[in-house]
Amino acid sequence: MKSKFATFVSYIFPFLLVITLIIAINNIIELIMLAVVPCIIWLISAKLSGQNWDIEDRNHRLIPLIILTIYGVVISFIFNDLFSKAFLINIIFILIITLFWKISMHCYGLSTLIMLLMYLLKYTNNNYYLIISLIISYSVFLILTIWSRLYLKKHTVLQVVIGTFSGFLVNLIMLKFV
C-alpha cells in the first residue's frame, strides 16, 4: 500500500506544474509550450533511451536536458517573459548539476513552483486565497514527494535536500534579478 501511494505521489508532479501555469499564464499557446511540450520531449527521450518516465540514470538525463535547453532558448526568444526565462534558467541549472551529480528534479520542480506562487502573491488581487492555498498544499505535497522519492529509493537524502533547496534558491535569485 505504501509503495502504491509513493508511486502515485511521484506521478502527480506534472499535473501540479500545469495547474500552476494555468493560474500564472493567460496565454494558452505559451502554457502548452512551457508545460505540455517539455513533458512530451522528456517522455520521448525516456522511451528512446529505454528508461521509465523519471529517467533514474543521471547520464540518460543529459540528452533530454540538452534538448530542453535548446528548446528553452527558442521559447525565451519567442515569448521573452518571466515564465520562459524561468524555464530556461531552471533547465540550464539542472543540466549543469546533472553533468556532475543527480538531484531530485521532482523536489527541485516543486520548490520552483512554490517560489513562483510566492512571487505571484505580490501581483494578484483576485486570486490571493487560491495562491495561498496552493502554496500550503504544494508545501505539504513537497514533504510527501521527499518521502516518496526516498521510500521508492529513487534518491538519497542529500539528493532530495539539494534538489529542494536549490530549487528555492535558484528561483529566489532569479526572481530578484529577472
Tens digits of per-residue pLDDT, 28-72? Answer: 888 888 888 998 999 998 898 888 878 888 999 999 999 999 999
For the chain, first and last CA: distance in Å?
Answer: 44
What cell numbers appear for 130 in the block?
487560491
How confident is the model at residue 44, as a pLDDT? Answer: 92
Helix, strand or coil for residue 37? Answer: helix
Helix, strand or coil for residue 56? Answer: coil
What is the amino acid identity at position 15? F
What cell numbers appear for 8 in the block?
502515485
DSSP state of 53: T
What is the amino acid identity at position 173? I
Question: If you average pLDDT over residues 88-94, what whole number do you get?
Answer: 97
Helix pair 105-121, 2-24: axis angle to 10 deg: 40
How confident is the model at residue 77, as a pLDDT? Answer: 95
Mean pLDDT, the chain, rounded, equals: 90
Element counts in the chain: helices (H) and strands (E): 8, 0
